[in-house]
């Protein structure tokens, strides 16, 4: 580092870049050595704290150094009275000027521009270094799907965690601002619900008028410039959301939720932020940044109890198309869309959930922060999506970031703006996501301190005992066999609903119960599983078994509907080819585990050699296919006309799942599924977490090599029946298992 400081003092920028490159190479070799002898954690720490900053500095210097070397060459030619040759060199500098970082992020740029201008003046090629006038480097930062993971603490495991928390993202935010002061920060929704802290502030230590929600407090501390709503913002109703919003010192925007009575937009469709920035010459100027946002129209189904008759929701793409002209007319120089929506596909269907890819094609959109899917972009995308530049983080030329979940990543979008006349245009752009360091010291303590009361109250709340379990409860194999972590949920739902049906017209109808594995390595997270050790059960364990603040609901369906419901659930599995001898992945990773409903009260088999009847969205793709075999009730083939009451949650009851669509009666109860589980355990006092084995696979082909991935920890709890075996490492930190 002494050599670098010396070169910087001598203003030998070519040498500075060379030294940073050398440092990066040295660090790369050391990360490999660390991985070999000290493991992944030590390697990752070195990468985050040293290699990435070195790479960033090297990359930041590339364009300035190129210009520096050219201007030095031009100066030499001028000194040798070779003016014509100097002019040619200086002309090659002009296209590079718009790619310079701002003077605030790299102070040497100001001096460099002065040197270029002097050389151009001496060569007689004009005194303005930029052929287009003013240029500004604008940085847009984004978070999404924090889900009340403010402190780096896993409330389910009741321990500190280095894999999550806005308190850790905060250090990335501060570093990104240090690199460029022309920075704005936005949140893309799903901030107020998701962990026991969200439940604690909504139901235990209830938010009161004038009190800030902890998520808002943390965001204000970090100086967020704006936010939009995710679908989970509506879980607690409109009044609660208003209470959260009205104390925030930053604006919330949404362009597609309307008042059902007046038909007017319920929230601000957009805001204009007058952002004072410093241009490439060091001069202050103001950019008008317009920000809008959208939420999936499916909130009308998912939170029907809270929203029915109160709001309507416009199609997301149409909403953005409608609001952009208004933003432009109001003077927006740059337009940012906060899209609480997954990437989706290339075909527009009105009212669809995931539309970000389509939004990149909307004229006038300059940058997008997306989320909802809990994934990371730039990163792997579906092969059907065209014109995706992962290296530069653009889709159809528009920079896009999807910064993971729970504070795991920070989205960083860099726009180079060029002024032409009175208009600012995006000359170039680049997007990236930065990962939080897996280092315990990399935490912003001011964020932790700001929410200390709510955090400590939540810990006290989740430690309250409710009963005991005679064995460990885990979800490692919940997608491939009947599982205790689901059985406890379905048993509790059944007990609750049977009690509610007493004395009603439906009292004599048989009750079935549907449950799904919420934590099953969801979305490429190899640690995202439920594990509750044998012994005392506390509220934190129940919250680990049932993540969401859903409410108990019932639907009245027929035996035929039950079969279609299970056919949809069976879409979780890929089709297994009996003639193929190579490895075949059992789990369809495009199918969300929370849609894999196990229905207790009936018995059945799943034949994965047959094609799935439905796609992941519930559309029929193989009408004549049937994976559900030997479906029985009370030991006999199910009567397709018989009526059943199925216990489930409000999301499923209000949705369009096959089988649920035909329900003749839907009842939404006021109590949460989680509370029903707590009450069930309190009543039982001690539970034996064993599954009843009501479903299984039809015999898999004898020669088929069928594999699936789960946590590496699952190796320790492989069932004794011998159907599952550990093979070795899988992808993204998972373990690979075979199943017979």
- pLDDT at position 121 is 86
**Residue 66 pLDDT exceeds 90:** no
Closest by CA position to 407, among listed 171, 214, 182, 593: 171
Query: Where does 472-622 have alpha helices with state H?
Result: 484-501, 539-545, 559-569
Q: What number is the average pLDDT over the span 568-596?
A: 95
**What is the tens place of the pLDDT at every residue in 68-91?**
888 889 999 989 889 888 888 888
Domains of the chain from N-terminus onward: 2-123 (no CATH), 135-451 (3.60.21.10), 464-739 (3.90.780.10)
Q: What confidence tens digit (pLDDT) does each residue in 357-376 have?
A: 999 999 999 999 999 999 99
Q: Is the confidence at residue 42, as pLDDT, over 60?
A: no
Give every CB contact of residue 60 below 8 A, 6+ residues apart in sequence. 101, 105, 106, 179
The secondary element (H helix, E strand) that includes residue 466 is strand 465-469
Collect all residues with Cβ–Cβ distance below 8 Å to 256 and sequence separation of at least 6: 265, 294, 295, 297, 313, 314, 315, 316, 319
Q: Using the predicted structure, report yes or no on whether residue 41 has a pLDDT greater than 90.
A: no
Reported as a pLDDT band with limits 50, 70 and 90, residue 45 is low
Q: How confident is the model at residue 35 (pLDDT cuts 50, 70, 90)?
A: very low
State mean pLDDT over 666-674: 86
The confidence band for 725, taking pLDDT boundaries of 50, 70 and 90, is very high
Nearest to 104 by CA among 279, 273, 276, 274: 279
Within 297-433, where are the H helices? 299-302, 304-307, 316-329, 356-359
Average pLDDT, the chain: 90
pLDDT, residue 54, reads 58
Tell which residue, 222, 90, 236, has the closest CA to residue 150. 222
Looking at residue 437, what is its pLDDT? Answer: 86
Q: Report CA-CA distances (Å) from 425 to 136, 304, 336, 415, 418.
A: 10, 42, 13, 10, 5
User: In this structure, are residues 131 and 125 in contact, taking their beta carbons and an 8 Å threshold?
Assistant: no
Give me the mean pLDDT over the 344-349 stretch.
95
Note the helical H segments in 539-655. Answer: 539-545, 559-569, 650-653
Quick check: 132 pLDDT over 50? no
Would the pLDDT of 14 be above 70?
no
Read off the pLDDT of each residue in 445-458 and give the average, rounded to a whole number.
98
Rg (CA), the chain: 29
For the residues of 217-257, what is the DSSP string, one character each? HHHHHTT--EEE--GGGGTT-HHHHHHHHTT-SS-EE-SSE
**Inter-residue contact 164 to 410 (CB < 8 Å):** no
Task: Locate 588 and state its tokens.
Answer: 């369809």
**Is 70 exceeded by the pLDDT of residue 384?**
yes
The pLDDT of 327-356, averaged and rounded, is 97
pLDDT at 97 over 90: no
Find the farthest-apart pair of alpha carbons in the chain and give their distance in angstroms, rounded: 104
pLDDT digits (tens, 9 = 90+) for 458-499: 999 999 999 999 999 999 999 999 999 999 999 999 999 999
State the pLDDT at residue 89. 87
Distances (CA, A) of 456 to 9, 18, 452, 522, 693: 49, 49, 6, 28, 40
Q: What is the mean pLDDT of residues 722-737?
A: 93
3-state secondary structure 152-189: CEECCCCEECCCCCHHHHHHHHHHHHHHCCCEEEEECC
Per residue in 619-640, pLDDT tens? Answer: 999 999 999 999 999 999 999 9
pLDDT over 60 at 129, yes or no: no
pLDDT at 214: 98
CA–CA distances in Å: residue 591 to residues 479, 531, 568: 11, 22, 10
Do residues 334 and 290 make contact, with C-beta atoms less than 8 angstroms apart? yes
> What's the pLDDT score for residue 302?
86
Residue 58's pLDDT band, with cuts at 50, 70 and 90, is low
727: confidence class by pLDDT, cuts 50, 70, 90: very high
Is residue 609 pLDDT above 70, yes or no? yes
Percent of the chain with pLDDT over 90: 73
Residue in 430, 418, 413 with CA at minimum distance from that of residue 333: 418
Percent helix, percent strand, percent coil in the chain, to nearest 5: 35, 25, 40
Note the pLDDT of residue 483: 95
Whole-angstrom CA distances from 230 to 81, 190, 233 are 64, 4, 5
pLDDT digits (tens, 9 = 90+) for 250-292: 999 999 999 999 999 999 999 999 999 999 888 999 999 999 9
**Is the pLDDT reported for residue 569 higher than 50?**
yes
pLDDT for res 102: 66
For the residues 679-699, what does the mean pLDDT come to? 93
- pLDDT: is 278 or 47 the higher one? 278
Residue 64 pLDDT greater than 90, yes or no: no
| d(C-alpha 721, C-alpha 697), whole Å | 14
The pair of three-digit structure tokens given for residue 689, joined into one six-digit string: 């977490």
């Amino acid at each position: 580092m002494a050599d670098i400081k010396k070169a910087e003092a001598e203003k030998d920028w070519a040498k500075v870049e060379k030294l940073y490159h050398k440092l990066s190479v040295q660090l790369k070799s050391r990360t490999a050595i660390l991985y070999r002898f000290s493991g992944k954690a030590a390697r990752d720490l070195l990468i985050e704290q040293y290699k990435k900053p070195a790479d960033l500095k090297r990359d930041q210097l590339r364009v300035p150094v190129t210009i520096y070397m050219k201007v030095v060459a031009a100066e030499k030619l001028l000194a040798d009275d070779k003016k014509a040759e100097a002019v040619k060199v200086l002309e090659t500098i002009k296209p590079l000027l718009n790619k310079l970082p701002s003077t605030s992020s790299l102070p040497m740029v100001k001096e460099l521009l002065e040197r270029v201008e002097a050389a151009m003046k001496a060569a007689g090629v004009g005194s303005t270094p930029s052929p287009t006038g003013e240029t500004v480097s604008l940085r847009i930062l984004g978070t999404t799907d924090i889900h009340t993971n403010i402190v780096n603490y896993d409330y389910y495991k009741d321990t500190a965690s280095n894999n999550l928390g806005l308190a850790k993202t905060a250090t990335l935010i501060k570093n990104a601002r240090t690199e460029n002061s022309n920075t704005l920060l936005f949140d893309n929704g799903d901030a107020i619900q998701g962990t026991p802290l969200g439940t604690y502030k909504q139901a235990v230590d209830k938010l009161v008028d004038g009190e800030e929600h902890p998520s808002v407090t943390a965001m204000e501390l970090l100086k967020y410039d704006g936010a939009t709503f995710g679908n989970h913002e509506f879980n607690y109703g409109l009044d609660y959301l208003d209470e959260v919003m009205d104390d925030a010192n930053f604006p919330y925007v949404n362009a597609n939720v309307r008042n059902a009575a007046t038909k007017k937009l319920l929230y601000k469709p957009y805001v204009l932020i007058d952002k004072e920035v410093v241009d490439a010459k060091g001069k202050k100027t103001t950019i008008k940044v317009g920000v809008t946002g959208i939420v999936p129209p499916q909130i009308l189904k998912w939170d029907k109890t809270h929203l029915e008759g109160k709001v309507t929701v416009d199609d997301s793409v149409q909403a953005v198309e409608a609001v952009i002209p208004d933003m432009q007319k109001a003077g927006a120089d740059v337009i940012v869309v906060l899209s609480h929506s997954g990437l989706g596909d290339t075909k527009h269907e009105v009212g669809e959930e995931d539309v970000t890819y389509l939004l990149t094609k909307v004229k006038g959109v300059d940058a997008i922060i997306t989320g909802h899917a809990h994934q990371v972009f730039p990163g792997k995308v579906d092969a059907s999506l065209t014109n995706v530049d992962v290296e530069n983080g653009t889709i159809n030329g528009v920079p896009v970031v999807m910064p993971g979940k729970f504070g795991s990543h920070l989205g960083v979008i860099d726009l180079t703006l060029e002024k032409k006349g009175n208009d600012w245009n995006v000359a170039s752009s680049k997007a990236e996501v930065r990962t939080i360091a897996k280092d315990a010291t990399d935490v912003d303590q001011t964020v932790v301190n700001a929410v200390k009361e709510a955090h400590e109250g939540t810990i006290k709340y989740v430690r309250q005992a409710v009963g005991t379990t005679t064995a460990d409860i885990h979800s490692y194999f919940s997608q491939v066999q009947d599982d205790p972590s689901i059985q406890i949920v379905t048993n509790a739902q059944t007990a609750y609903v049977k009690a509610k049906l007493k004395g009603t017209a439906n009292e004599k109808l048989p009750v079935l119960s549907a449950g799904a594995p919420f934590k099953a390595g969801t979305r490429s997270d190899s640690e995202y599983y439920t594990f509750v050790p044998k012994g005392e059960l506390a509220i934190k364990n129940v919250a680990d078994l049932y993540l969401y603040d859903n409410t108990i609901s019932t639907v009245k369906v027929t035996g035929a509907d039950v079969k279609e419901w299970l056919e949809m659930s069976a879409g979780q599995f890929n089709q297994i080819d009996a003639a193929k001898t190579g490895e075949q992945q059992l789990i369809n990773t495009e199918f969300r585990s929370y849609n894999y409903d196990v229905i207790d009260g009936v018995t059945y088999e799943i034949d994965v050699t047959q094609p799935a009847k439905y796609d992941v969205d519930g559309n029929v793709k193989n009408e004549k296919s049937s994976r559900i075999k030997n479906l029985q009730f009370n030991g006999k083939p199910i009567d397709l006309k018989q009526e059943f009451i199925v216990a489930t949650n409000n999301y499923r009851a209000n949705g369009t799942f096959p089988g649920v669509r035909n329900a003749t009666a839907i009842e939404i109860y006021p109590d949460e599924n989680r509370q029903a589980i707590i009450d069930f355990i309190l009543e039982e006092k001690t539970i034996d977490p064993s599954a009843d084995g009501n479903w299984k696979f039809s015999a898999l082909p004898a020669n088929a090599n069928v594999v699936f991935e789960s946590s590496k920890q699952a190796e320790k709890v492989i069932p004794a029946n011998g159907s599952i075996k550990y093979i070795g490492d899988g992808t993204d930190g998972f373990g690979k298992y075979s199943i017979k």
